[in-house]
Structure 1
Amino acid sequence: MRSRFVNIVVAVVPFLFILFLAGRFFYPVLLEGRTFYAFDNLYTTLPWSATNPGIKAHNPLITDPINIYYPHYKFVADFFEPKDMSFKFWNGSIFCGKPNPPFGGNPIEFFAYWLFSPSVAHDLVLFIHLLATGLFMYLYLRSIDLRVLSSLIGALAWMFNGHLMVWFEFQNMILGSPALPASFLCIELWIKKKREFAPFLACAFAFTITSGYAPVVFFHSILLVAYFLYRLFTLPKGEKRGFTRGGIRPSLHLALGAVLLLCIAATFLTSHRAFIDNSHRKEYRFSEIYDRTGQLPKEYLLTLLFPDFFGSPAGGGPCFTPGAKPYNNYNELCIYSGVFSLFLAFSCIPFAGRRKYVLFFLGGALIALLMAMGSVLYYPLFRFLPGLNLSTPTRVLYVFCFSLTVMSALGADIVLRETGRRRWTVVPIWILLLLSAIIASWSVQTDSGIRWVGAVSGLDLSQPQEYKGLVDHFHIAGPAVLGPLLFAGISFITLLLAAVSRDERGKNKYLCLGLLFLAYDLLFFGLRYNSVSPREMEYPKTGAIRFLEQDPSLFRVMSLGNFMHNGFAPFGIQDIGGYSSFYPKRYAEYLHLSQHGPGTPFPETHSRWVNFHRLGSPLLDLINMKYVFVPSQLSIPSSFMELVYDQEVRIYENKDVLPRAFIVPSYSLCNSQESAYAALGSFTVEDFRQRVILESEPPLVFSGRGEEEKEGRFNVTEIRYGRDKIDIRVSCPSGGFLVLSDNYHKSWKAKVDGSEKPILRANYAMMSIPLEAGSQNVEIRFDDVELLLGPIITALGWISLGVWICFWFRKRRKESR
């Protein structure tokens, strides 16, 4: 018998190994002062590219983390002020303002960004969740009675799974990845130990919800329910009775867990309600969802063995993803889980009816794969889960990769345990996989193979350089072919030797070798794909940014040319454009009119990215657009644009700009949204100075309606922006309308000298407040009760769950005595 010390060492070593792998992956962060933010992408856009020429982005596909998530988390870090217990939900940095609540309410994420700078918090959150992903996957696999080595293989394959790695810096996917195996672990412990693990199951699922990523939340929920039912169905009758015994108490605990989950989900629910409400995004029909978003082509299954078969955006190489769909890119379609783990996962197939769990995860992988490839199986999810009709079905590949990872652990356990004739049933499958790798490698060395790749990828191979580019990419000694081919050969030989070995020690030895190859494969896949930037590249100020910071007035900017969307938001410089998954639909239509003029129909769907190509529209003056950024070689020959800065970029000042808030004496009433839009396209700057376009009758009738007042009689003497608050001092010799160029939202509330006043939708997308004569103080607050209650209820839910877990431990401690 082994000594107690040896047992402890054996138990601890897997955790140390997982910690070592996480530390090795974070080596550039821990020891080189770098960060998992692709700040090198900043230096391919203005104004940074002008002062730092020659810097190339390692991976140009990883831009969302720096131009969506970085500004978002910088904003969220300041969303709660403990001194006065105030919150901030309105973000005015892009699109003339929009609600910007936290995504989900993950406490680790919240405290990290509250205490540290964005890049430090980002790396800390990633490290904690990466480590937790490996640890919980290992614990789950051990709970279903897999060997230590098999469990380590599964933990490694999920921890550094290609699908998680390509989304790693985006943060949303990795936030939910530990919770999936943790939820399964709680179910297993509940079944096997006959104890109620409801608080831990609730806690695990709560971390999924608070990842804030709706597709992951939905797919996790479905998979969790399906797994629970599968485990109940497959339990022997005696165990099933034992599990369900206990009267009403377990049911009450499950109900309590559900209530707490609903509380913790409050931030997720209210924030997504705010995102979707009046959004620019279009809901797709099921018949068009795959064509208008993304679909996994059958040819892309080759990337299970050759991750870069169709190229990669990382490292400056070619990238030619097949299937001309808007979302068909390397990130969306990545299904790579490692060559060795693929061989092991396929080892499960002959044992689908004989080994527990294999059928469930094999079915899960196949169903998810079919859904991503365009099957009608996706329709129930599309039809009944809110928001899935707005985005690509390829997000279900998260389930496929998780299921494949568990199958790899099950396959490793089959290799370890099978010693009879049945162990040879997997060898033909390994031979088939090896032959597939060899045939694929050989075929792309031929002209017909090259032309097949060109055809499925939509490349024009009549161009000599396109053809030569493919030939070079598929060179037999190149990384796209040789590396995966070697891994396939090593996997086959290693597993064959393990199958031949009759004793467990020999099997362990060869599987340990395979584990090391898998670690090398996946770890360096993740490091090769992700960008690790020096921290000094974190949004440095340029001369143009410092120039604008010297202007004390309220203003907005726009840019023409190769500028980073949302690039000025981290500096507090407000932009009339931007990039966001959701922003107000009316504002999208407003910008469309400013760029295309009246009579141009709306596009089928408005883009998430706003690019400008036209100046001179009075609609741009109306939204307080004071400065225009252009490349240094571009001039704007216009009498209303004055060049005020000419160095790394040029900045022009708009002389016709209207102030952020101003007063007009009269209004034009439009009885419909369409007529308001038509009036908007017909107004000049002078019209906007005199009249505001309203869509509802104001509460007061002004005698000056339709008459032009002399300029200068109405004054906004002071305007101050605070946390979800605007304070304005006005002077009106007669009744008029205060017009603000911030986006209208139903949650804006106004008081004039302490009395509540209505806020009217004005100029199609803005807001206006009717004023009486005299000097008045106007206070405008963004008061969204739902958004306010969301974080409060979430915090109370987490606290209550923590108290419940403490009571659970206290009860178990008493029982053990």
Structure 2
Amino acid sequence: MNNWFKQNGIHLAIIGIFFAISFVYFTPAFKGKALGESDVTRAQSTQKEIMDYHEKDTTILWTNQVLGGMPTFQLWAHYPGNITTHIIDVLKKVFPNPIDTVLLLLLGSYLLFCVLKLNPWLAAAGAIAFTFSSYNFILMLAGHSNQVFAIAFFAPILAGIILALRGKYLLGAALTALFLALEIRANHVQMTYYLLLAIVILVLVELYHAYKAKTLASFGKALAYLAVGTLLAIAVNASMLWSTYDYGKDTIRGQSNLTQNTKQPSNGLPRDYAYEYSQGIGECLTFLIPNAYGGYTGNAPGEGSNVAKALVSNNVDPTQAETFAQQFSLYWGDKPFTVGPNYYGAVIFFLFVFGLIIVRSQVKWWLVGAIVLSVVLSFGRNLSFVSDIFFNYFPLYNKFRAVDSFLAIAMLCVPVLALLAVNEVATTTDRAPLFKKLLIALYITGGLCLVIIILPDLFLPFKNATNQTIQQQLTQAFKGNTDAANAVMAGLTQDRVSVARADAARSLVFVLLAFALLWAFIKQKLNTTLVSVAFLAIILVDLWSVDKRYLKDESFIDKQDAQAPKPRDIDMLIMRDKDPDYRVFDTTQPILQDAVTPYFHKAISGYTAARLKRFDELIDNQLSKSINQDVLDMLNVKYILTADEKNQGSISMHANNTACGHAWFVKTVKFAPNADEEMQAISSFDPSDEAIVDKQYSTLIDEKQNSLDTLGKIDLVSYNPDHMVYQSGSTTQEIAIFSEIYYNKGWKMYIDGVEKPYFRADYVLRAAQIPVGNHKIEFIFHPTSYYAGEKISFASSILLVLLLGGALFMETKKKQPVATPAKK
């Protein structure tokens, strides 16, 4: 045991440093505070009903709380058969958010750097460089916790793959299986997809070198082991993946139902929507200079700004001028909104450029290929002739939006190549030729900084498409005085130049520090350990100080304030209604961004990027341009909230007396030949009297025996989101319409305990033919994808544990010293 501690003492010390760094940076989290992210608040609104049932130890797979009703697979679902669920639960119970994610980022990337055979201190510097890249912290601040959680497993997955490719087949496959299973469980398919593309490049590079070295047999063996590990990771997540696959075909990422009057493509996301967040080509300068493009959208000119001075010079009161200046943004990139720039660190960027010149490892070409691919595809609409090839022809690529997030791959690969450069110096015996190459890296990175310091507007305009609109608004505000408007805009440009120049000077200082360290190292004035520790320190200082501009102590708030929106008086009034399944429509909230109404009521609004396509089409055609009262009635919208015309800022509540209720019998059925006709038909109809049904369901309706019993009734008698029970009574056979959203992959209908067919009516609702008499009608959500998938996940989890145990046993056995026979 003592030998083990001696052998691993440095690793344990570094892990201790990682814990200390996390504690210091995230002290508020250890004090019980939480990040007040807007996206987390929106997630909580969509998960409210799910969590209420989960607290009662009940798992529900359907919720009626958001967008009329939808499966919970992409909102929150429990997968107890999956071992990674329990690993993640333990992490989240032990460490407060987001410290669990930060530690995973640090430890996972440390493993990768160690696998690449860097010394522990240099590996620690690399881990800090990757973890503290500003994008990770911006994601945490914005509430994209699943995305950064998925990014945390990039490095250890690559570590496992590299181990297998270097001959440690069983250990590499086992680690790949474990971390890939965790990556998949993080449930951010877009990040996993981008990682897969990077892995494809790695495999192709390794294949080329195996062919050149005539080692194709060992390469094939490694691939076989990795294939088994990959299949096991997929099987561990069978329940989640199967359910997501089934559901995905019916979401906005699936095939369109309409061919007319639709903004959606026939399959996948709209191109403009997918490219909405595209990285500006010039904006890549922020990798080196964080405020080159002004920082973040909310970054306003500070006190004494040039904007304020220009306003004062045009007879605006100084106090008002300072206030008005806060409405301007220093960010001038093309993104509609950004929480902060992608900053890899001036030290890291300098080392990266140096690494491009001197690193000889075959890993370099994989890193360069992955970086080029991720950067080029992050440009989206700004380099559309390349992006469109992937969007139009690569499987699944058109399912993802915010293509600038592809930079997560470069965010890992850039520090890897940067630290490999330092390692190259450490392992080179003749260092003298390296100095000239070091100067080239200094001229490139330092030169860029100097250009922004001395001639910032030589290459950068410090303007974007919104400048003209702002200038027109200013001209109107100054009553046609264009000179005054021009002066204010010139002041804004000067303020943008100032922050870019200041950060360029800052980055230059760090570049010179890194250059000085490497110069001393090349001249053998410092040893490897001292240089490694020094780089760890300056990389941490560099990135820490920029991260604190965005994710700072003030970003944390008391948990009770972060947990949920506060109910309004109108919400309290509506909640007195004990009806278990009515809906509310708040017209004062954006229907697809509403984070308030779904938290307190069952709503037809809400936010999720994986909403049902049919309901999205219904919103677009019946509720966005103008509100169709017939559609509100069929959705059982019992309360409508509108802005109070008399009291500005107040909300009025109107009870909808024509709401159809939970279920009702209709007199007539009209068949529509296709989805377009069905949508057109519900634009004007009486939902309480007639049903619009696609003709594909005509065989499920016996119109000859159908008639309306005016005294017949059908009532909801028991409510559970995935188990609805109704009681019907009629003297004739009836067509019943249920105000619940139709989804045929899991919902089953039973009449008196016997499964019966049901169909879709009114474009999005459930319907069924109900026989004569009194009957108990049940709708039960029991998707095969989840329940059969859970069994596969459980069996595969056992296999994963056995594989890990076997790999660790074999590695331990290899390291045990072989006893030599005593001499006679």
TM-score bracket for the superposition, by shorter chain length = 0.7 to 0.9
Deviation at 1:535, TM superposition (A): 0.8
Q: Is the 1:461–1:467 Cα contact (8 Å) retained in structure 2?
A: no
Match for 1:770: what amino acid?
A: Q
Question: For residue 347 of structure 1, what is the aligned residue in structure 2?
Answer: 354
Partner Cα distance (1:188, 1:616) in 2: 58
Amino acid at match of 1:805: L
Q: TM-score, normalised by structure 1?
A: 0.81
Deviation at 1:763, TM superposition (A): 1.2
Q: 1:388-537 maps to which residues of 2 (within 5 A)?
A: 388-416=398-426, 419-444=431-456, 452-455=461-464, 459-460=468-469, 462=471, 463=474, 468=488, 471=491, 475=495, 481-501=501-521, 502-503=523-524, 505=526, 509=530, 512-530=533-551, 531-537=555-561
Q: How far apart, in 2, do the equivalents of 1:273 and 1:261 lie?
A: 16
C-alpha contact 1:230 1:360 (8 A) present in aligned 2: yes
Alignment match of 1:217 (pick from 192, 200, 203): 192
Which of 612, 622, 626 does residue 634 from structure 2 map onto?
A: 622
Of 536, 539, 544 in structure 1, the residue corresponding to residue 564 of structure 2 is 539
1:652 is matched with which residue?
654
Distance 2:668 2:93 in 1: 50
Matched-pair contact (CA < 8 Å) for 1:310–1:319? no
What per-residue deviation string (whole Å, max 9, x for no partner) do you get for residues 589-611 of structure 1?
A: 3233433xxxxxxxxxxxxxxxx
SS of alignment partner, residue 431 of structure 1: helix
2:146 alignment partner AA = N
Q: After the TM superposition, which residues 226-375 of structure 1 pair with which residues of structure 2 at under 5 Å, given as runs?
A: 226-231=201-206, 233-234=208-209, 240=215, 243=218, 253-281=225-253, 282-283=264-265, 292-313=275-296, 317=300, 319=329, 329-330=337-338, 334-352=341-359, 354-373=360-379, 374=383
**1:682-719 CA distance string (max 9 Å, x none):** 21xxx3222222223264535586x7764xx1223443
- Supply the distance in 1 between the matched residues of 2:269 and 2:680 (Cα, whole angstroms): 33
**Could you tell me how far apart the structure 2 residues matched to 1:471 and 1:293 are?**
29
Name the SS for the 1:682 alignment partner.
coil
Q: Secondary structure at the match of 1:778?
A: strand
- Does the 8 Å contact 2:452/2:504 carry over to 1? no
1:384 pairs with 2:394: yes
Distance 1:19 1:582 in 2: 36
Aligned residue runs from structure 1 range 754-773, under 5 A: 754-773=753-772
* Aligned CA distance change for structure 1 residues 762 and 113 (closer, same or farther; 3 Å): farther
- Tell me how far apart the structure 1 counterparts of residues 801 and 490 of structure 2 sit (CA, whole Å): 56
SS in 2 for 1:727: strand
Distance in structure 2 (CA, Å) of the matches to 1:716 and 1:114: 43
**Range moving further from structure 2, 250-259 or 144-153:** 250-259
The higher-RCO structure (CA 8 Å, 6+ apart) is 2
SS in 1 for 2:130: helix
1:679 to 678, 681, 700: 681
User: Whole-Å Cα distance in 2 between the matches of residues 792 and 78 of structure 1?
Assistant: 26
* 1:556, distance to aligned residue in structure 2 (A): 0.7
Instruction: Please say which of residues 267-276 and 162-171 is displaced more in the overlay.
Output: 267-276
Query: How far, CA to CA, are the matches of 1:716 and 1:479 in structure 2?
Result: 67
- 2:730 maps to which residue? 732
Structure 1 residues 545, 794: closer, same or farther in 2, change over 3 A?
Answer: farther
More off after superposition, 22-31 vs 412-421: 412-421
Residues 253 and 443 of structure 1: CA distance in aligned 2, closer, same or farther (over 3 Å): closer
SS in 1 for 2:610: coil
Deviations 1:760-790 (A, max 9, x none): 2111211111112222110111232123333
User: In structure 1, the residue corresponding to 2:614 is in which secondary structure?
Assistant: helix
Q: Do 1:416 and 1:508's aligned partners in 2 also have CA atoms closer than 8 Å?
A: no
Which whole-Å CA distance do the structure 2 matches of 1:286 and 1:591 have between them? 17
The match for 2:718 among 720, 727, 743 is 720
Whichever residue aligns with residue 676 of structure 1, its letter is E
Relative to 1, partners in 2 of residues 1:275 and 1:753: Cα closer, same or farther, differing over 3 Å? closer
For residues 12-32 of structure 1, the C-alpha deviation after alignment (integer angstroms, 9 at most, x for no partner) is 33222222222223211102x
Which residue in 1 is equivalent to 2:12? 12
Name the counterpart of 1:670: 672
Q: Give the percent of matched residue pairs that are identical in Structure 1 and Structure 2.
A: 16
- State the one-letter code of the partner of 1:336: Y
- 3-state SS of paired residue (1:716): strand
Question: For the residues of structure 2 that align with 1:287 and 1:754, how far apart are their CA atoms?
Answer: 44
Deviation digits for residues 515-566 of structure 1, max 9, x if unmatched?
3332233234334324322212121542333333221012111112257934
Bigger mean CA offset, 230-239 vs 215-224: 230-239
Please list the CA deviations of residues 179-199 of structure 1 after superposition, one character each: whole Å capped at 9, or x if unmatched: 222122223434556452222
State the 1:345 CA deviation. Answer: 0.8
- Residues 794 and 292 of structure 1, relative CA distance in 2, 3 Å threshold: same
CA distance in structure 2 between the partners assigned to 1:320 and 1:629 by the alignment: 37
Change (3 A) 1:239 1:178: farther
The answer as to whether partners of 1:427 and 1:496 remain within 8 angstroms in 2 is no
Maintained 8 Å contact 2:628/2:683: no
Q: Which amino acid aligns with 1:97?
A: G
- Contact 1:344 1:409 (C-alpha < 8 Å) held by counterparts: yes
**2:571 corresponds to which letter in structure 1?**
I
- 2:610 equivalent in structure 1: 582
One-letter amino acid of the counterpart of residue 505, structure 1 = L
CA displacement 1:396-434 (0-9 Å, x = unmatched): 222122211212212333455563132331223213322
Is the contact made by 2:716 and 2:724 (CA closer than 8 Å) also made in structure 1?
A: no
CA 1:809/1:461 → structure 2, altered by over 3 Å: closer, same or farther?
A: closer
Cα deviation digits, residues 55-110 of structure 1 (max 9, x gap):
xxxxxxxx33321x334565665787997xx7422121112111221579696884
- What's the secondary structure of 1:310's corresponding residue? coil
Shift of 1:292: 4.8
Asked if the contact 1:289–1:389 (Cα under 8 Å) also holds between the matched residues in 2, the reply is no
Show the 5 A alignment for 1:108-123: 110-111=85-86
Partner deviation per Cα, 1:198-248 (whole Å, 9 max, x = no partner): 222211222222221122212222322432453464469889489469xx8
Cα distance in 2 for partners of 1:112, 1:805 equals 14
Measured in 1, the distance between the counterparts of 2:525 and 2:609 equals 53
Is 1:182–2:156 an aligned residue pair? Answer: yes
Question: Runs of 5+ in structure 1 lacking a partner?
Answer: 39-62, 596-611, 636-645
Change (3 A) 1:461 1:797: same
Q: Name the CA shift for 1:632/1:539 in 2 (closer, same or farther; >3 Å).
A: farther
Q: TM-score, normalised by structure 2?
A: 0.80
User: How big is the shift at 1:320?
Assistant: 6.7
Given the superposition, is the C-alpha separation of residues 146 and 742 from structure 1 closer, same or farther in structure 2, using an over 3 Å criterion?
same
Contact 1:690 1:708 in 2 (8 A): no
Give 2:317's aligned residue. none
Distance 2:34 2:408 in 1: 25
Question: 1 CA distance for matches of 2:83 and 2:22?
Answer: 18
1:107-146 superposed Cα distances (whole Å, 9 cap, x missing partner): 6884489799xxx769746322321211121222122222
- Whether contact under 8 Å (1:263, 1:797) holds in the other structure is yes
